[in-house]
Structure 1
């Protein structure tokens, strides 16, 4: 029998795709999102052998959103698209994952290496023989990009990309040619897991930063802690919890950091976003003589239009790649090691701080005599409806800003896309988040709050939810269009209007039976109260769609302030 030259010198030959999918499984991916296309079809045949579930979505953009939501709950996500038409449909979702620092592995099935070398005039190309143009587009939104063209290098390329994806918490891009899918590579290395442990700081530099931090921390008379999104993305929530527990300092979160701190903790003081915060929160943070920020992302919507009144002179900033103490920056000293040593070495007896404001769901305070459901009343009332360990997904718009007024029970995971802010993201993200709970095995409630305007962009993803029997409750806020845009510009402009759909019928339009889904139309406070108190509604194991009506020109306070600041920024001109 002739020896297969492809296996020569290999101790345990495995196909490239078998290796790739085994590695995905090892790092925590159990479900893979995407859309089939002829350049990835053979690769998709390998998913069952690796124990991976093919989710499938109605289009690549929704699949990218779903992989993003999946990664936020499971730790890492994966997306498979086809060359050109597929990957470009997904590129907005991948840009959002890059912007928001979400680890997603994007695998692109592409034409064979032979076709590429010969510059063949193939479908899904630009017709110019350039097979690198789409990879070049993705290079700016990927922390690693690998073209899997040479079998001798592919295992190293895969392992490197997956490690970078995990450690840097950003998307990676793998280009898989059709003639590489079944090539043989060394499978014995699968016995050794990829090292996902973060690199350690230089000990001397780390110890120096720790000493500086402790000196200012022990000298402070009125310090506070502010937790932001990168504390979640770069996995330092244990350190955050231990720091709060030991210091007993008031702790606040940014809009992007919501859910990073147990909101039932006695030290929790609420959401801080500059002038968009509640007055008592703004007053307390602005009065601090030392602000310890952990994982800050000071974008416009995360700061209510850059309205912080804090000084860098009074700040210690911990980041995933560096630390900043007042005006001194320490590059290459990552926050995790520094935080752990600060927690171990600080003296709580030397800590001083006035308590922060008490956070409550102010339902009665915001209830008026009208039957109309208002934004001011709705969001605190949702705080009483939520249960421990729920997953709460909020869409860019009223929901993103309204949720600031909701005090969470213990263990709630909050998903939002405040920085990238792609309208329609939340529906796909909720699908991915829910499937992640299925893969974890806890099947927690996933609850989505999305406006009618946003929902129109990605509504087809409800069919994927139905197909996978997702446990999701969708609150569709029906307020006649694009509310956040109205408050930025064009309150009564036609371009901010949408068509009125039969919203509550959508689950059934997309194939759900009455045993799989339920719908409700809610127009008054009393109707909503009755629904939120209903035991079946709270424990339902399938899809629920709530058509919820609110006034067209009503918006959360934080949205009004941020929209005003955004309009001013948009109108700024050079002197």
Structure 2
């Protein structure tokens, strides 16, 4: 039987290994909703709203490699845009499926709901398409060829795709021959031109051999294109050491013998790492560093571009030299082979590292002492176990977590570049569904949590078992940090956070509240022993969220008229 347009589209996306669809039902999207409901490889996840659905799909794509979010025309798709723009910024292939009015309505010029009443039925397409790298309106005639184009482009760019389904056309059979797709992991996103590739390999081999202080800076591009294992093999073959920026934290275990620490300009951890990276005579940038404010210690780093060889997804730059049509996967594989066949393995691991990474934090705080950041983070560090996925919400908790060294085998996700507060809770849901074999540990502030807390109920509904830790300081702490104290707009309504899972229908969850160090230790012990999800509220003093120094805030915002410097 020939599949319908919408069934075929879902089949092709499921071929990639996607198993869930996040969304909110809507009448124009009913053909998509109905097709998901009966699809043997896909499960519907009933998100509380479209923004949360997009955030959850973002988290899912981080761990599964791609995701689907489904919304309805106009009101639904526009509500999802912030989340999808975040996936654009953070390079995640989320397929946005939108049901639109039937062409029968459009051809008659009938005014329908979810419009401005002006018969402009295409008004929202350009807006939603701007949150994607590729888009298409699927019809029976173009479904087969357009889906191949859209999927190929979304995976090549590792960014969202936007697909619209007019209600009547979505139900019609396709006219082409269906294609059986391949799962992610066996699809090559980029091909290399042989001459360009060999030139890059020759250049890198020579630059590495002549360098006396080389360092590698890997980026999340490696994770987006499934190259983390290839990167680890490259390290093993070469003997080079590496550091990460905040955006790329825990790409490999931070107990890896080649790990140096967190390079973040003047806020690097350990502090000596800044000079190690900036004084290196060769920096191998694997994936393209994002020189954003929070990824560079407020632009306090100083990297000499002439010492950097930057490997982007499909091109390479070394000073004034640019090589095109070169796949980063081919470069990693080629360099690894060359090092494996050479007897000149470098040795920058373990005790030979130019700087040792920061040690684990010492436990501080007496049992009866009120909880604060100083007592919380060392205990969180010890609470984490191998194979955990630590997910940090945007906010002061992210700044704290970036600076600590994670235990062996712990990986981490954050939204450093886009930085939308509220992302963390739905993203944790997506991560937990994408990798049910991992324990997801979410650390979020109370301000961000209040924005998207409804997804706790979806967690209970879907049966995932995360550990949700809410740091309650009663205010938008990150905003207070970069503004001034005393602003009423930073204050939050006081919620009884530990009661939320039960109120939202979650069953079998461990829930509790810690206001002293003893209570915190007891809570972590109880959660570790509990077989299921957990929700912990930890009190943090509001006084910790003191504004940064005026000169630091000025660097961050740059609102003051510069003072003219007179020549000598």
2-side partners of 1:256 and 1:127: how far apart? 44
Partner of 1:116: 106
Structure 1 residues 417-449: Cα deviation after superposition (integer angstroms, max 9, x where no partner): 1100111000010011111123xxx2x211100
Shift of the 221–361 alpha-carbon distance from structure 1 to 2, 3 Å rule, reads: closer
Partner of 1:344: 337
Task: Tell me by how many angstroms 1:378 deviates.
Answer: 2.7
Farther off after superposition, 262-271 or 92-101: 262-271
2-side partners of 1:107 and 1:54: how far apart? 13
1-side partners of 2:77 and 2:50: how far apart? 7
Partner of 1:77: 67
1-side partners of 2:211 and 2:549: how far apart? 31
Shift of the 122–50 alpha-carbon distance from structure 1 to 2, 3 Å rule, reads: same
Structure 1 residues 435-465: Cα deviation after superposition (integer angstroms, max 9, x where no partner): 1123xxx2x2111000001111111111111
Output aligned runs, 1:226-237, within 5 Å.
226-237=217-228
Farther off after superposition, 519-528 or 450-459: 519-528
1-side partners of 2:323 and 2:561: how far apart? 35
Structure 1 residues 454-484: Cα deviation after superposition (integer angstroms, max 9, x where no partner): 1111111111111112201111001121111
Partner of 2:179: 190
Structure 1 residues 71-110: Cα deviation after superposition (integer angstroms, max 9, x where no partner): 1111111001000000011011001100110110000010
CA contact (8 A) 1:304 1:561 kept: no
Task: Tell me by how many angstroms 1:304 deviates.
Answer: 1.7
Task: Tell me by how many angstroms 1:133 deviates.
Answer: 1.6
CA contact (8 A) 2:155 2:189 kept: no
Task: Tell me by how many angstroms 1:111 deviates.
Answer: 0.3
When normalised by structure 2's length, the TM-score is 0.92
Partner of 2:49: 59
For the pair 1:286 / 2:278, whether they are aligned, the reply is: yes
Farther off after superposition, 540-549 or 327-336: 327-336
2-side partners of 1:564 and 1:380: how far apart? 27
Secondary structure of the structure 2 residue equivalent to 1:301: helix
For the pair 1:309 / 2:297, whether they are aligned, the reply is: no
2-side partners of 1:105 and 1:210: how far apart? 35
Secondary structure of the structure 1 residue equivalent to 2:295: coil
For the pair 1:23 / 2:12, whether they are aligned, the reply is: yes
CA contact (8 A) 2:278 2:304 kept: no
Structure 1 residues 356-393: Cα deviation after superposition (integer angstroms, max 9, x where no partner): 43335533276589823332443233222111111111
Structure 1 residues 257-295: Cα deviation after superposition (integer angstroms, max 9, x where no partner): 112122121111111111111212223222322111112
Task: Tell me by how many angstroms 1:120 deviates.
Answer: 2.2
Partner of 2:96: 106
Output aligned runs, 1:45-56, within 5 Å.
45-47=34-36, 48-56=38-46
Match of 1:393 among 385, 391, 401: 391
Partner of 2:130: 140
2-side partners of 1:392 and 1:287: how far apart? 32
Secondary structure of the structure 2 residue equivalent to 1:189: coil
Q: CA RMSD in A?
A: 2.3
Secondary structure of the structure 1 residue equivalent to 2:294: coil
Farther off after superposition, 298-307 or 101-110: 298-307
CA contact (8 A) 1:276 1:562 kept: no
Structure 1 residues 237-271: Cα deviation after superposition (integer angstroms, max 9, x where no partner): 12221122122222111111112122121111111
CA contact (8 A) 2:367 2:518 kept: no
Partner of 1:35: 24
Partner of 2:243: 252
Secondary structure of the structure 2 residue equivalent to 1:28: coil
2-side partners of 1:237 and 1:503: how far apart? 37
Partner of 2:230: 239
Partner of 1:405: 403
CA contact (8 A) 2:523 2:536 kept: no
Partner of 2:465: 471
Match of 2:291 among 292, 298, 302: 298
Question: What are structure 2's unaligned runs of at least 5 residues?
Answer: none
Task: Tell me by how many angstroms 1:554 deviates.
Answer: 2.2
CA contact (8 A) 1:22 1:50 kept: no
For the pair 1:219 / 2:207, whether they are aligned, the reply is: no
Secondary structure of the structure 1 residue equivalent to 2:264: coil
Match of 1:157 among 141, 146, 149: 146
Task: Tell me by how many angstroms 1:192 deviates.
Answer: 5.3
Partner of 1:326: 319
Partner of 1:8: none
2-side partners of 1:560 and 1:203: how far apart? 51
Partner of 1:548: 538
1-side partners of 2:556 and 2:256: how far apart? 37
Structure 1 residues 106-142: Cα deviation after superposition (integer angstroms, max 9, x where no partner): 0001001222233321100121111222110122221
Partner of 1:508: 502
For the pair 1:496 / 2:490, whether they are aligned, the reply is: yes
Shift of the 555–310 alpha-carbon distance from structure 1 to 2, 3 Å rule, reads: farther
Secondary structure of the structure 2 residue equivalent to 1:54: strand
Task: Tell me by how many angstroms 1:351 deviates.
Answer: 3.5
When normalised by structure 1's length, the TM-score is 0.91
Task: Tell me by how many angstroms 1:216 deviates.
Answer: 1.1
Secondary structure of the structure 2 residue equivalent to 1:45: helix
Match of 1:524 among 512, 516, 521: 516
2-side partners of 1:541 and 1:381: how far apart? 20
Secondary structure of the structure 2 residue equivalent to 1:276: coil
Shift of the 395–560 alpha-carbon distance from structure 1 to 2, 3 Å rule, reads: farther
Farther off after superposition, 196-205 or 329-338: 329-338
CA contact (8 A) 1:18 1:50 kept: no
Output aligned runs, 1:311-460, within 5 Å.
311-346=304-339, 347=342, 349=344, 351=346, 353=348, 355-364=353-362, 371-438=369-436, 442=437, 444-460=438-454
Secondary structure of the structure 1 residue equivalent to 2:250: coil
Task: Tell me by how many angstroms 1:344 deviates.
Answer: 1.6
2-side partners of 1:290 and 1:109: how far apart? 51
Shift of the 274–545 alpha-carbon distance from structure 1 to 2, 3 Å rule, reads: same
Secondary structure of the structure 2 residue equivalent to 1:422: coil
Aligned length: 553
